[in-house]
């Protein structure tokens, strides 16, 4: 068994990568669970997801503290520093995605037991696509798989297509029946949060390419940072 400073550094870095996998799984479950609670009008599940956002935040802070400790005490080399800086960045991206899921849970709670709109069927598809992209993006980072990281952002177009179709459909519903305006607006907020979450998956892929190559890139996309709900 190899001992010494390098072995210690490698072990601690692998622990941080494992922590990113855990945080990614927590966020993935929050995204799919929040939309499932919305679909089923499960207010208890929505409240649980809302409350569990604290655990996602705490995990992010734990990763930050332990990563910075490695930088301060283990004398990482240049490639090590790229990995560690990306761990910090991706932990932040994941925590923000957890906020989107929390926002969806909050909307479910505000909607209560009101009947869903007929357009709701597109939202679970958006959530499934986003969660699948997230799962593979986090895996590509941990495995330093540049090829996969470069391929995933193309799939964001599917999420955008669903979002645009849902937007048009909900507008039609609101024009046809003014009594649906509040519910329709909430559904638009949900879809917007999912669209933004998918954009942050692209950010993770960009960081993976940087980690592997040392080159900063931006994938072509519509990246509207106008805010989330």
The residues, any chain, with a CB within 8 Å of residue 222's CB and separated by 6 or more, are: 160
Its domain, for residue 121, covers 5-213
169 belongs to a structural domain = yes
Q: Which two tokens stand for residue 206?
A: 């960009």
For residue 54, the surrounding DSSP H or E stretch is helix 43-73
Tokens of 17: 């990568």
For residue 164, CA distances in Å to 57, 74, 126, 160, 209 come to: 31, 48, 11, 6, 29
Instruction: Tell me the C-alpha distance between 201 and 204, whole Å.
Output: 5
Residue 157 lies in a domain: yes
Nearest residue to 119 via CA among 42, 198, 46, 180: 180
- Residue 67 within any structural domain of the chain: yes
Rounded distance, CA 145 to CA 191, Å?
29
Q: Which of 27, 194, 198, 46 is nearest to 124 (CA)?
A: 194
223, part of any domain: no
Query: Which domain CATH number covers 110?
Result: 1.20.58.220
Nearest Cα residue to 141 out of 97, 96, 91: 91
For the segment 37-87, what is each residue's pLDDT rounded down to a tens digit?
999 999 999 999 999 999 999 999 999 999 999 999 888 898 899 999 999
pLDDT tens profile 130-149: 999 999 999 999 999 999 99
The stretch 215-221 carries a mean pLDDT of 81
- List the one residue out of 19, 52, 17, 18 whose CA is nearest residue 37: 52
Does residue 155 lie in a domain region? Answer: yes
| 181 falls within a domain | yes
pLDDT for position 221: 57
Distance CA 205, CA 185 (A): 31
Residue 103, domain member (yes or no): yes
How many CB atoms within 10 Å of residue 83?
19
Percent of the chain topping pLDDT 90: 72
CA distances from 8 to 1, 22, 65, 67, 76 (A): 12, 21, 17, 13, 11
Whether the per-residue pLDDT at 23 is higher than 90: the answer is: yes
**Can you give the pLDDT at residue 75?**
86
Q: Among the listed ranges 152-166, 182-196, 215-229, which one has the minimum average pLDDT value? A: 215-229
Residue 151 within a domain: yes
Per-residue pLDDT band at 105 (split at 50, 70, 90): very high
- Give CA separation, 84 vs 67, 79, 161, in Å: 6, 9, 34
Q: Are 196 and 228 in contact (CB under 8 A)?
A: yes
Whole-angstrom Cα distance, residue 208 to residue 111?
38
pLDDT at position 2, please? 55
Q: What is the mean pLDDT of the chain?
A: 91
What's the whole-model pTM score? 0.91
- Rg over alpha carbons for the chain, rounded to the nearest Å, is 19
pLDDT category of residue 121 using cuts at 50, 70 and 90: confident
Domains in the chain: how many in total? Answer: 1
């Amino acid at each position: 068994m190899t001992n010494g400073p390098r072995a210690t550094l490698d072990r601690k870095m692998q622990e941080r990568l494992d922590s990113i996998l855990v945080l990614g799984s927590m966020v993935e479950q929050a995204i799919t669970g929040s939309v499932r609670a919305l679909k089923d009008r499960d207010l208890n599940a929505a409240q649980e997801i809302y409350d569990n956002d604290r655990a996602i935040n705490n995990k992010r802070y734990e990763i930050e503290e332990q990563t910075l400790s490695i930088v301060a005490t283990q004398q990482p080399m240049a490639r090590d520093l790229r990995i560690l800086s990306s761990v910090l960045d991706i932990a932040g991206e994941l925590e923000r995605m957890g906020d989107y899921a929390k926002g969806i849970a909050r909307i479910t709670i505000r909607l209560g037991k009101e009947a869903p709109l007929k357009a709701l069927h597109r939202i679970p598809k958006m959530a499934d696509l986003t969660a699948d992209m997230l799962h593979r993006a986090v895996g590509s980072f941990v495995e330093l798989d540049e090829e996969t990281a470069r391929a995933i952002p193309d799939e964001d177009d599917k999420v955008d297509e669903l979002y645009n179709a849902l937007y048009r459909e909900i507008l039609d519903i609101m024009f046809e029946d003014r009594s649906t305006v509040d519910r329709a607006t909430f559904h638009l907020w949900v879809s917007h949060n999912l669209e933004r979450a998918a954009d942050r998956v692209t950010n993770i892929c960009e960081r993976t390419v940087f980690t592997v190559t040392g080159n900063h890139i931006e994938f072509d996309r519509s990246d509207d940072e106008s805010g989330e709900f």
